[in-house]
Chains A and B, each alone.
Chain A
Amino acid sequence: MTLTERLRRLDVTTVIMWIIGGLLLFFIVLGSIQSILKGTYTPAQWFDFFVFGISQGSIYALIALGYTMVYGILKMINFAHGEVFMMGALTTYFLADEMNRRGVFDDKGALGPTLLSTLFGLIVLFAVAIFISMTVAVLLERVAYRPLRGAPRLVPLITAIGASFFLQYTARGLYGSNNRSYPNVDLLKGTVTFGQFSIQVVQIVVAVTAIAMMIGLYLFVQRTKTGKAILAVAEDKQAAALMGIDVDRTIVITFALGGAMAGVAAILYAIMFRQAHFFMGFIPGIKAFTAAVLGGIGNIPGAMLGGLFLGIFESLGPTLFLDGLGINSPNQLKDVIAFTMLVLILIFRPTGIIGERLSEKKA
């Protein structure tokens, strides 16, 4: 396409959008340059921001996977997915607390050497959280969504919102409204230092686990028969049904996988932030949804990228973009930054960073 042809195809709205995008970009660049030139922050601190962003972002990404897979297959926003995450984190707390009291996570080592005992403890926690989140996700599908298969698209959205309330307050009723604190795992304390840069062990663990899980999920979906069934159903339910794929079962598996990822996210959140309460799922849920759209909804690598991007924007953005412009309390505005970045990316790439769809064909 030649330049003139492109110019001819431009309409007013596109021009306005590009102008808005350009302006935003200008301010972002201006703010960044000023912030960096001001020299308030050392390179080590900039690096810190970046690392915080990655660890927070990888949790977003894990939750976003649940959104994106369900969206890919059912074209619905599973608003209650944040509560799936919450249920995993809050329920597992009681086990973690009991294990901690028995000395599983410290050198009192009820189960042999500290490393083994801690590892064992964490694996059990992951397993339990995955199980719980999976169960909640599958029940959710069975009770609230399956009967609505084929209803207008916004109907399951409202059901999801209702289910979200219900789960939140079920958790509140069952476990109380106290803010529960996960034990501090001894082995995860401390930092690793290279030169002037340092990273906390827990952040490395979180990021590595999250990325490993995502790669695992991606391979699962791409390589296994079940995974391919998910892709097929996402592509065309009818055709998939004709090919002998059990559509209902595949959808359940999708929810279960999303739930499992939320369960992993729950424990990663728990070891990093060490708090759990009944309202904890709401904000990560919204953020993860944003991350899923940012990366291109319905797209697994997209959700990963989207999550990481969002985490980094939130962590780095306020200081990088706003501090230099002399704005008060920039961290209060991190949601503004996150959503502005979203708009900006959607202006230039209307279907997210990577693009839509779970299946490869249309990516």
Chain B
Amino acid sequence: MRQRAQGKSPLRRAIDVGLIGSIPALLLALVGMVDAFSNRYLLEESVSTGQVMLAVVALIVGYLAARRISLPAQTVATKIGYGAVAGLMVGLVLALLLFIGEVVGINLRKVLVNASPALYEILAFNQAPAVGMLLLALMGTLLGALGGALFVMPARLRSAIITGITVIILLALLRDIVKLVFQQYEPTTALYRFLFTPNGGLTKIGLLLAFLLPAAADYVWSAGRPTLDRRYHALPDGTQKSVRWVGLAVAFILLLLFPTIFGRFPSEAMNNVILLGIMMGLGLNIVVGFAGMLDLGYVGFFAIGAYTMALLTSPQVGGGMNFWTALPFSLLASMIAGIILGIPVLKMRGDYLAIVTLGFGEIIRVLVLSDALRPWFYGAPGITGVPAPNVGGMLLNNPETLYYLLIAVMGLTLFISLRLRDSRLGRAWMAVREDEDVAEAMGINLVVTKLMAFATGATMAGLGGAIFAAKLGSIVPQTFNLLISVNALAVIIIGGMGSVPGVVVGALLLIGLPEVLREFAEYRLWVYGALLVAMMLFKPEGFWPDEGHRRELTEHDPEETPQAPGPADPPLPPGTVRDRAAVARADIRATHTEDEAGLDE
């Protein structure tokens, strides 16, 4: 591929980059996003964020073209020129769309419902089609050249400019959330009014400030960081430690002040992050990350926890317990379910396990929904009237107070997770993950170890489910669908499999991001899907991979890496599980000739 590309003239390649880059621009326009964001403005009521999206595409395309094609020896003008050519192509493709739709008059709308007159108007900058096409080409070239210029300039400046641009775009896109946060207090309200026009985007000064301040901060930071780093490392160990402690303390205080600072909706979002992201992620991390068993039916235990809580507490179905008395039953029920599911799947590996657990999750949902079991689970309408959790005499029925309960429970789960990871059991799980046969040979009881993983994971999900039911006050079977399992799985993979802090990062990204993306309304899941792919492409090992296990996770069966021979076993300190396993493996392999496809292979 690369060789072929080298053979082409640079101009051809710039055109190619531009054409490929025009696909996202075209998609943005044709899925309706440009139109949908046409009345959300960046600057006063003139530049819409819909247009900005297209502009950003052209900018990136210009940058990429300059980066991929230009050689170090070429002049600045040539490099920028490549960017301009690529940008021009993006403009031309959009102009072509305009041409087909407006000038030729083919009704694309029969198929592409969003190729509407409104879209053409935006693309044509509210001008006549011919003028619009010219403007598009011009803007494309200009933005592409700008992108090229970004490549040419020094890295520090570039990073500063990108930061500035990102901040203003985010501010404009998330205006409504920014408003919610800012309008809680008098001074911040004033700041909001200063930055934003009432119906449109940022004010002129606001735009300038929102661009310059972060850009300057980035610039100064990137200049000062090496010095700071050096100074920090020059400090005596004790001081370093206390600096870290101060950092942690500040973070902790910020965490506690979160509802006060950000207000109701962000607290609600944070609660969802903790409940559906961190707690589910931590539980699943034990099953998948520690013990290496791919479980796609994790939502089943969540559902069991929630339904047990609802059945025991809701007065409408004859339960009269309060949250705290019902909680142990919830945990117990999900733990037992974990063991029951665990038994038949003990012998299954990898993807067989995945599909069977997926089936289990679906079975639970269908059963609670079914008419057949309606006398016990109340079918489709679900159960309402579940009381909120109470602490002392206080009912935690708003996001701000519930937040503290969730933080406490999250702290507990985090602590348990970390302790389990370093415990004898945790080591056994990891041994099982690495190689079941070896683990068994080392005297690990597979049955008990695997069942413990299932039971612990299930209990954590049950805990989450119980709080979930109490938080909502009403539950319906349709909530407990595959997506919850999939999300939890994505959280731990994005975070870095097996890594406990990774779960927190993953949850913030994967559950928090969609909450923020609510502003994108119906394009939320579209953007989410694209981001999920992008994150995995850029950080396949996750955002916070577990240092100790990174080596183990990136190493593969030689079968899977065709281009290069598998990386040699990295040197490991003697005495680690893996080291011992490697020694044992040779013997085991001799007796086990079956080549089983496991998760860890």
A contacts B directly (C-beta below 8 A) = yes
Q: How far is the CA of A168 from the CA of B556 in the complex (A)?
A: 32
Q: B371: which of A156, A163, A328, A343 is its contact (CB, 8 Å)?
A: A328
Name the residue on A nearest B492 (C-beta).
A154
Which A21-41 residues sit within 8 Å CB-CB of chain B? Answer: none
Name the residue on B nearest A97 (C-beta).
B110
Does B198 reach chain A (CB closer than 8 Å)? no
Name the residue on B nearest A357 (C-beta).
B597
CB neighbours (8 Å) of B294 from chain A are 154
- Count of interface residues, chain B, beta-carbon cutoff 8 Å: 71
CB neighbours (8 Å) of A166 from chain B are 526, 529-530, 532-533
Q: What sequence of 0s and 1s flags, for each residue 156-181 of chain A, a beta carbon within 8 Å of any chain B beta carbon?
A: 11110111111111101111100000
Of A9-17, A197-205, A262-270, the segment with at least 4 beta carbons within 8 Å of chain B is A9-17
Name the residue on A nearest B365 (C-beta).
A335
CB neighbours (8 Å) of B541 from chain A are 151-152
Q: How far is the CA of A163 from the CA of B347 in the complex (A)?
A: 31
Report whether B529 and A163 are in contact in the complex, using a CB–CB cutoff of 8 Å: yes
Report whether B533 and A163 are in contact in the complex, using a CB–CB cutoff of 8 Å: yes
Q: What sequence of 0s and 1s flags, for each residue 588-601 of chain B, a beta carbon within 8 Å of any chain A beta carbon?
A: 00000001010101
Q: How far is the CA of A176 from the CA of B30 in the complex (A)?
A: 11
Does B60 reach chain A (CB closer than 8 Å)? no
Does B490 reach chain A (CB closer than 8 Å)? yes
Q: How far is the CA of A334 from the CA of B5 in the complex (A)?
A: 53
Of B247-255, B265-273, B404-412, B557-565, the segment with at least 4 beta carbons within 8 Å of chain A is B557-565
Q: B347: which of A17, A157, A329 is its contact (CB, 8 Å)?
A: A17
Report whether B343 and A17 are in contact in the complex, using a CB–CB cutoff of 8 Å: yes
Does A342 reach chain B (CB closer than 8 Å)? yes
Which A318-363 residues sit within 8 Å CB-CB of chain B? Answer: 322, 327-330, 332-333, 335-336, 338-340, 342-343, 346-347, 350-352, 356, 362
CB neighbours (8 Å) of A228 from chain B are none
Report whether B362 and A335 are in contact in the complex, using a CB–CB cutoff of 8 Å: yes
Q: How far is the CA of A330 from the CA of B370 in the complex (A)?
A: 9
- Count of interface residues, chain A, beta-carbon cutoff 8 Å: 74
Q: How far is the CA of A63 from the CA of B371 in the complex (A)?
A: 31
Name the residue on A nearest B32 (C-beta).
A173
Q: How far is the CA of A328 from the CA of B377 in the complex (A)?
A: 14
Q: A342: which of B351, B355, B533 is its contact (CB, 8 Å)?
A: B355
CB neighbours (8 Å) of B531 from chain A are 162
Q: How far is the CA of A322 from the CA of B370 in the complex (A)?
A: 13
Q: How far is the CA of A333 from the CA of B362 in the complex (A)?
A: 10
Of A102-110, A120-128, A236-244, the segment with at least 4 beta carbons within 8 Å of chain B is A236-244
CB neighbours (8 Å) of A77 from chain B are 351, 354
Report whether A165 and B532 are in contact in the complex, using a CB–CB cutoff of 8 Å: yes
Number of A-B pairs whose CB atoms are under 8 Å?
A: 208
Q: A162: which of B363, B533, B601 is its contact (CB, 8 Å)?
A: B533
Which A285-300 residues sit within 8 Å CB-CB of chain B? Answer: 286, 289-290, 293, 297
Of B111-119, B138-146, B173-181, B324-332, the segment with at least 4 beta carbons within 8 Å of chain A is B111-119
CB neighbours (8 Å) of A237 from chain B are 559-562
Does A210 reach chain B (CB closer than 8 Å)? no
Report whether B565 and A165 are in contact in the complex, using a CB–CB cutoff of 8 Å: no
Does B493 reach chain A (CB closer than 8 Å)? yes
Given the interface contacts A152-B540, A159-B532, A175-B111, does A170 sit within 8 Å of B27 by beta carbon? yes
CB neighbours (8 Å) of A332 from chain B are 366, 369-372
The interface residues of chain A, by DSSP majority, are classed as helix
Report whether B362 and A159 are in contact in the complex, using a CB–CB cutoff of 8 Å: no
Does A147 reach chain B (CB closer than 8 Å)? yes
Q: Smallest CB–CB gap between B491 and chain A, Å?
A: 10
CB neighbours (8 Å) of A335 from chain B are 362-363, 366
Q: How far is the CA of A339 from the CA of B356 in the complex (A)?
A: 7
Does A192 reach chain B (CB closer than 8 Å)? no
Q: B352: which of A17, A346, A362 is its contact (CB, 8 Å)?
A: A346
The interface residues of chain B, by DSSP majority, are classed as helix
Q: How far is the CA of A155 from the CA of B528 in the complex (A)?
A: 16
Q: Smallest CB–CB gap between A92 and chain B, Å?
A: 11
Does A119 reach chain B (CB closer than 8 Å)? no
Q: B355: which of A293, A350, A356 is its contact (CB, 8 Å)?
A: A293
Given the interface contacts A162-B533, A173-B114, does A150 sit within 8 Å of B561 by beta carbon? yes
Which B528-554 residues sit within 8 Å CB-CB of chain A? Answer: 528-533, 535-537, 540-541, 553-554
Report whether B536 and A327 are in contact in the complex, using a CB–CB cutoff of 8 Å: no
Report whether A170 and B526 are in contact in the complex, using a CB–CB cutoff of 8 Å: yes
Report whether A339 and B363 are in contact in the complex, using a CB–CB cutoff of 8 Å: yes
Q: How far is the CA of A333 from the CA of B370 in the complex (A)?
A: 7
CB neighbours (8 Å) of A236 from chain B are 559
Report whether A144 and B533 are in contact in the complex, using a CB–CB cutoff of 8 Å: yes
Given the interface contacts A20-B343, A293-B355, does A159 sit within 8 Å of B559 by beta carbon? no
Q: How far is the CA of A240 from the CA of B558 in the complex (A)?
A: 13
Does B31 reach chain A (CB closer than 8 Å)? yes
Q: How far is the CA of A164 from the CA of B526 in the complex (A)?
A: 9
Q: B490: which of A158, A172, A286, A293 is its contact (CB, 8 Å)?
A: A158
CB neighbours (8 Å) of A155 from chain B are 493, 536, 540
Q: How far is the CA of A174 from the CA of B522 in the complex (A)?
A: 13
CB neighbours (8 Å) of A14 from chain B are 347
Does B301 reach chain A (CB closer than 8 Å)? no
Does B123 reach chain A (CB closer than 8 Å)? no
Q: Smallest CB–CB gap between B139 and chain A, Å?
A: 23
CB neighbours (8 Å) of A167 from chain B are 529
Does A75 reach chain B (CB closer than 8 Å)? yes
Count chain B CB atoms within 10 A of each CB in A14, A77, A166, A176 and give the residue with the most.
Answer: A166
Report whether B558 and A238 are in contact in the complex, using a CB–CB cutoff of 8 Å: yes
Which B42-66 residues sit within 8 Å CB-CB of chain A? Answer: none
Name the residue on B nearest A24 (C-beta).
B344
Report whether B363 and A340 are in contact in the complex, using a CB–CB cutoff of 8 Å: yes
Which B321-349 residues sit within 8 Å CB-CB of chain A? Answer: 343-344, 346-348
Does A273 reach chain B (CB closer than 8 Å)? no
Does B497 reach chain A (CB closer than 8 Å)? yes
Name the residue on B nearest A140 (C-beta).
B533
Report whether A327 and B595 are in contact in the complex, using a CB–CB cutoff of 8 Å: no
CB neighbours (8 Å) of B475 from chain A are none
Does A212 reach chain B (CB closer than 8 Å)? no
Report whether A350 and B351 are in contact in the complex, using a CB–CB cutoff of 8 Å: no
Count chain B CB atoms within 10 A of each CB in A153, A163, A169 and give the residue with the most.
Answer: A153
Q: Smallest CB–CB gap between A333 and chain B, Å?
A: 6
Report whether A153 and B599 are in contact in the complex, using a CB–CB cutoff of 8 Å: yes
Does B205 reach chain A (CB closer than 8 Å)? no
Count chain A CB atoms within 10 A of each CB in B110, B372, B554, B562 and give the residue with the most.
Answer: B562
Name the residue on A nearest B560 (C-beta).
A150
Report whether B595 and A152 are in contact in the complex, using a CB–CB cutoff of 8 Å: no
Does A255 reach chain B (CB closer than 8 Å)? no
Q: How far is the CA of A173 from the CA of B520 in the complex (A)?
A: 13
Q: Smallest CB–CB gap between B104 and chain A, Å?
A: 18
Does A218 reach chain B (CB closer than 8 Å)? no
Does B10 reach chain A (CB closer than 8 Å)? no
Q: How far is the CA of A12 from the CA of B358 in the complex (A)?
A: 25
Q: What sequence of 0s and 1s flags, for each residue 218-240 of chain A, a beta carbon within 8 Å of any chain B beta carbon?
A: 00000000000000010011101
Q: List 28 A-B contacts (CB under 8 A).
A: A13-B346, A13-B347, A13-B447, A14-B347, A17-B347, A20-B344, A143-B533, A152-B541, A152-B556, A154-B288, A155-B536, A158-B490, A162-B530, A162-B536, A165-B525, A166-B529, A168-B529, A169-B31, A169-B526, A173-B27, A173-B30, A241-B562, A290-B358, A328-B370, A328-B374, A333-B367, A339-B360, A356-B597
Beyond A12-B447, A14-B347, A172-B522, 20 additional pairs, beta carbon < 8 A: A17-B344, A144-B533, A151-B540, A155-B540, A159-B537, A161-B532, A162-B533, A165-B525, A166-B532, A170-B27, A173-B114, A173-B526, A174-B111, A174-B114, A238-B565, A330-B372, A339-B356, A350-B352, A352-B352, A362-B595
Residue numbers of B with Cβ under 8 A of A are 27, 30-33, 110-114, 288, 294, 343-344, 346-348, 351-352, 354-356, 358-360, 362-363, 366-367, 369-372, 374, 447, 482, 486, 489-490, 493-494, 497, 522-523, 525-526, 528-533, 535-537, 540-541, 553-554, 556, 558-563, 565, 595, 597, 599, 601
A-B interface, 9 closest residue pairs, ranked by CB to CB distance from nearest: A173-B31, A162-B532, A165-B529, A339-B359, A237-B562, A166-B529, A169-B526, A176-B113, A329-B371
